[in-house]
């Protein structure tokens, strides 16, 4: 059954690619027999398997062999599960890959630093497409999930994103605080889809142990944090309930913008100065799509802007630098907990 499904999928993908390429009057090759592996062991090892994902049922007929991950967060989960040899491509990066994953990441082709085109993804003849954000795997992104599924390509969206109300400003709104258990749910789902459940549980155990070690004896209830992701003119700052909320609760602190449920609301600097945080957590991004992407650019802005330079955190240079991946819902959020806890200890604010 699996071989028939894989062959049919490749045929449909080839038809779509041909149509698109004719419309664009461009020519490009395909990957030949690269998708053959997806037909193996379809009727064994508990396959087909069906996942409940963001209100949809996602069925994989066999362990994916040519997966494409469209966001860094999902990519790093797959790499951490030892699945580089089953990945056909990655895309949409904010930072260098997590420490310890460089060698595995180098084995996988990067289709684009940002979002690739639908046709570019199809060139890889994927048998599974996963993403961290609906903005990537949805209308206005690479393609809606249905466009892949019409071609027989199952798709998976991180439950950390569909747990919020997407759309509008501020990158969506959360009715309830995100938890690391939501991230662990993504790890378990992907491990199940690929048939590596034991690896998934091992990864989760390691992340829990790191969190426990990082937060041991940390209690910062009198400390007020602010998280700045990007943009100097109208900064994206963390609301109560996304990944920064996980970090803040883990160290027992308070987010100065806990009164908004928007994921990343854009807030003017006068309001920021009025909140006067004790510590500022800065996104240190390597991408180039907004102003003030790097931590260095953010610090320069804070220390030169007459509205912000007299804030408590700025005068005392209480900055904690995080990757963008650590400030998004992902396994890197644990890295965020570690670095914020370390910063609080360094500043003498850990309890």
Given pLDDT bands bounded at 50, 70 and 90, which one contains residue 288? confident
Cα 160 to Cα 164, 170, 180, 184, 219: the distances in Å are 8, 16, 9, 10, 26
Summarised one tens digit per residue, pLDDT across range 171-182 is 899 999 999 999
- Quick one: average pLDDT of 22-27? 35
- Percentage of residues in the chain with pLDDT exceeding 90? 83
Q: Is residue 288 part of a domain?
A: yes
Domain check: are 67 and 148 in the same one?
A: yes
Listed residue (40, 2, 10) closest to 122, CA to CA: 10
Give CA–CA dist 213/24, Å, rounded.
54
Q: Quote the pTM value.
A: 0.87
Asked if 264 and 242 touch (Cβ cutoff 8 Å), the reply is yes
Higher pLDDT, 106 or 44: 106
Count of C-beta atoms within a 10 Å radius of residue 270: 9
Domain check: are 122 and 265 in the same one?
A: no
Summarised one tens digit per residue, pLDDT across range 58-67 is 999 999 999 9
- Quick one: average pLDDT of 218-232? 97
Domain check: are 258 and 131 in the same one?
A: no
Say yes or no to pLDDT of 351 above 90.
no
Asked if 237 and 256 touch (Cβ cutoff 8 Å), the reply is no
Q: Is residue 194 part of a domain?
A: no
Residue 288 carries which DSSP code?
-
Summarised one tens digit per residue, pLDDT across range 181-202 is 999 999 999 999 999 999 999 9
Domain check: are 268 and 153 in the same one?
A: no
What is the pLDDT at residue 23? 37
Give CA–CA dist 328/335, Å, rounded.
11
List of residues 6+ apart from 189 with CB closer than 8 A: 51, 53, 156, 159
What is the pLDDT at residue 27? 32
Range of the domain at 322: 219-346
How many CA atoms does the CB half-sphere of 265 hold within 13 Å?
18
Given pLDDT bands bounded at 50, 70 and 90, which one contains residue 170? low
Summarised one tens digit per residue, pLDDT across range 126-155 is 999 999 999 999 999 999 999 999 999 999
If you average pLDDT over every residue of the chain, what do you get?
A: 90
Strands 224-230 and 110-112: unpaired
Q: What's the token pair of residue 27?
A: 């020519």
Cα 222 to Cα 213, 278, 351: the distances in Å are 21, 9, 8
Domain check: are 139 and 225 in the same one?
A: no
What is the pLDDT at residue 56? 95
Domain check: are 89 and 229 in the same one?
A: no
Give CA–CA dist 252/272, Å, rounded.
21
What is the pLDDT at residue 142? 98
Domain-terminating residue out of 157, 177, 193: 157
Domain-terminating residue out of 104, 132, 157: 157
Domain check: are 137 and 245 in the same one?
A: no
Q: Is residue 186 part of a domain?
A: no
CATH code of residue 329: 3.40.50.1980
H or E stretch at 11: helix 2-24
Say yes or no to pLDDT of 210 above 90.
yes
Could you tell me how far CA 114 lies from the centroid of its own chain?
Answer: 13
Domain check: are 141 and 223 in the same one?
A: no
Give CA–CA dist 232/292, Å, rounded.
6
Q: What is the domain count for the chain?
A: 2
Say yes or no to pLDDT of 12 above 50.
yes
Domain check: are 240 and 329 in the same one?
A: yes
Total residues belonging to the chain: 351
Listed residue (106, 94, 93, 108) closest to 34, CA to CA: 108
Reduced 3-state DSSP string for 147-209: HHHCCCCCEEECHHHHCCECCCCCCCECCCCCCHHHHHHHHHHHHHHHCCHHHHHHHHHHHHH
Domain-terminating residue out of 157, 180, 205: 157
Q: Is residue 178 part of a domain?
A: no
Q: Is residue 301 part of a domain?
A: yes
Domain check: are 22 and 150 in the same one?
A: yes
Listed residue (88, 65, 56) closest to 75, CA to CA: 88
- Quick one: average pLDDT of 288-292? 91
Q: Is residue 173 part of a domain?
A: no
Domain check: are 22 and 131 in the same one?
A: yes
Sign of the Cα torsion 74, 79, 82, 83 reads positive
């Amino acid at each position: 059954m699996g071989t028939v499904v894989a062959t049919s999928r490749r045929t449909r993908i080839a038809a779509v690619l041909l149509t698109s390429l004719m419309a664009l009057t461009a020519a490009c090759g395909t990957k030949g027999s690269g998708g053959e592996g997806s037909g193996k062991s379809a009727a064994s090892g508990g396959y087909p398997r069906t996942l409940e994902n963001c209100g949809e049922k996602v069925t994989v007929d066999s362990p994916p062999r040519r997966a494409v991950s469209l966001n860094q967060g999902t990519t790093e989960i797959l790499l951490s599960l030892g699945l580089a040899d089953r990945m056909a491509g990655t895309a949409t990066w904010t930072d260098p890959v997590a420490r310890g994953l460089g060698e595995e990441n180098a084995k996988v082709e990067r289709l684009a630093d940002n979002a690739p085109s639908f046709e570019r993804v199809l060139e890889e003849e994927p048998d599974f497409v996963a993403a961290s954000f609906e903005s990537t795997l949805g209308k206005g992104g690479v393609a809606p999930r249905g466009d892949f599924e019409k071609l027989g390509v199952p798709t998976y969206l991180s439950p950390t994103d569909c747990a919020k109300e997407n759309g509008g400003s501020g990158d969506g709104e959360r009715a309830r605080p995100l938890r690391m258990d939501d991230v662990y749910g993504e790890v378990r789902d992907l491990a199940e889809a690929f048939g590596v459940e034991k690896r998934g549980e091992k990864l989760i155990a390691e992340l829990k142990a790191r969190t426990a070690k990082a937060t041991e004896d940390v209690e910062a209830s009198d400390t007020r944090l602010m998280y700045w992701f990007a943009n100097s003119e109208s900064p994206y700052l963390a609301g109560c309930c996304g990944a920064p909320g996980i970090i803040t609760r883990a160290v027992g602190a308070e987010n100065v913008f806990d009164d908004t449920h928007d994921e990343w609301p854009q807030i003017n600097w006068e309001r920021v100065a009025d909140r006067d945080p004790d510590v500022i957590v800065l996104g240190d991004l390597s991408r180039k799509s907004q102003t003030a992407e790097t931590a260095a650019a953010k610090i320069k802005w804070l220390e030169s802007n007459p509205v912000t330079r007299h804030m408590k955190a700025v005068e005392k240079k209480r900055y904690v630098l995080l990757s963008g991946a650590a400030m998004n819902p992902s396994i890197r959020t644990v890295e965020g907990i570690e670095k914020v806890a370390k910063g609080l200890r360094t500043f003498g604010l850990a309890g």
